[in-house]
Amino acid sequence: MGTTFATRLSRNSRRIALAIALGLGLAACSATYDNHGYVPPAEDLAQVQIGDSREQVAETVGRPATSGVMRDEAWFYTAYRVRNFTYRAPEVIERDIVAISFDAGGRVSNVERFGLEDGQYVQLSRRTTAATVENLGFFQQLLSNFGRINLGDTL
C-alpha cells in the first residue's frame, strides 16, 4: 500500500519546520555590527588650517562630543565599529580618531588622525578607590554592619 496524502504532508511539514529551525539557529550565531561616534569627512578636515580659531573649526566640521580631559586644549572626534557575536565579547574592528589641538590662544596648532592600527588604548583616569575592608572575611564584613542599622531612620 502507498503512503497517504496526510502522511506525506506530515513529513513535508516536519522537514520545513526543521529547515526553519536550523535557519533561525544559524542566523542567531551571525555577527551584528554597531557603529558609534562621528568623524568629519576628509574633505571637511582639509578645510581646517593651522591658525584657525575654535569658532572657525566649529563652523567647518562641528563641535566634537569629546574635548580635552582636564583642559580645552584639543578636540577629539571618534568613530568606531564593533562586531558582536552571541557568545563572544564585543570586538572593535575599526576605529578612527581625529585630534585637533589648539594653542594657548585658541588657534589650531595640529590636526592628527589615528586608526585601529595605531593601537594604543587611552586610559583617561587612573583614579582608584582605596580599600576600606582590609583583611576582613565575608562574614566579618556582614556581621560588622548590624551595629550600623538604625531602624528609626528606615521607618
Residue range 29-87, pLDDT digits in tens: 778 888 888 999 999 999 999 999 999 999 999 988 765 554 568 888 989 899 887 77
Assign 3-state DSSP to the chain and report helix, strand, coil percentages, each to 5.
35, 25, 40
pLDDT tens-place string over residues 87-126: 778 888 888 888 899 998 989 999 998 888 776 555 444 4
**Whole-number Å distance between alpha carbons of 4 and 14:** 16
Do the beta carbons of residue 76 and residue 67 sit within 8 Å? yes
At 124 the pLDDT is 47
Q: Which of 37, 22, 34, 149 is nearest to 85 (CA)?
A: 34
